């Protein structure tokens, strides 16, 4: 019995190590897709829940925030989840932000992650942050937002 459990764990670890894209796809498939406005209005309901959002991203000197033009007064700080720091989608996303930080065009992205209480993530203190786990469909421009 213990041997079977060990074999299953080793297989799962092997899949996670060898095929991060497969893990990322599974992550995005299990996340619930909602609008940013819904997330920001119901923060307690979605805290800790894996969600996928289509958002506008704003990069500042001391951090990054996400929002939506449908609810313009609401912004949430964006930080990479510690386990996602080395993933290619998150790395490419932050590289894209660095390359386009002076642009006047909005940055749009589909992101997957969780709302969490801020754990002193930087120079600016926030009540909640969105912990980024994966990113897809990053673009620059005025494309319509879709949930």
Q: Which helix (H) or strand (E) holds 114?
A: strand 107-117
Let me know whether 102 and 113 are in one domain: yes
Q: Residue 32: how many CB atoms within 10 A of its CB?
A: 11
Whether residues 10 and 51 fall in one domain: no
Residues 46 and 20 in one domain: no
Task: Provide the pLDDT for residue 6.
Answer: 42
- What does each of the 147 residues of the chain score in pLDDT, given as a tens digit? 545 444 445 444 454 445 444 444 444 458 999 999 999 999 999 999 999 999 999 988 878 999 999 998 899 999 988 777 777 888 899 899 988 877 788 899 999 999 998 655 555 556 789 999 999 999 987 655 554
Residue 25: domain span: 1-29
Q: How far apart are CA 37 and CA 147, in angstroms?
A: 10
Number of domains in the chain: 2
State both tokens at 112.
């997957």
């Amino acid at each position: 019995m213990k041997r079977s459990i060990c074999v299953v764990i080793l297989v799962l670890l092997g899949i996670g190590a060898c095929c991060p894209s497969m893990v990322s796809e599974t992550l995005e498939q299990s996340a619930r897709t909602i609008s940013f406005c819904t997330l920001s209005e119901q923060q307690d309901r979605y805290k800790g829940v894996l969600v996928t959002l289509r958002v506008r991203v704003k990069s500042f000197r001391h951090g990054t925030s996400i929002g939506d033009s449908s609810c313009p007064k609401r912004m949430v700080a964006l930080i990479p989840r510690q386990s996602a720091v080395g993933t290619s989608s998150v790395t490419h996303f932050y590289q894209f932000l660095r390359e386009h930080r002076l642009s006047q065009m909005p940055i749009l992205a589909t992101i997957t992650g969780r709302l969490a209480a801020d754990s002193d993530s930087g120079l600016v203190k926030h009540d909640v942050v969105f912990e980024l786990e994966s990113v897809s469909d990053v673009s620059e421009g005025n494309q319509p937002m879709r949930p």
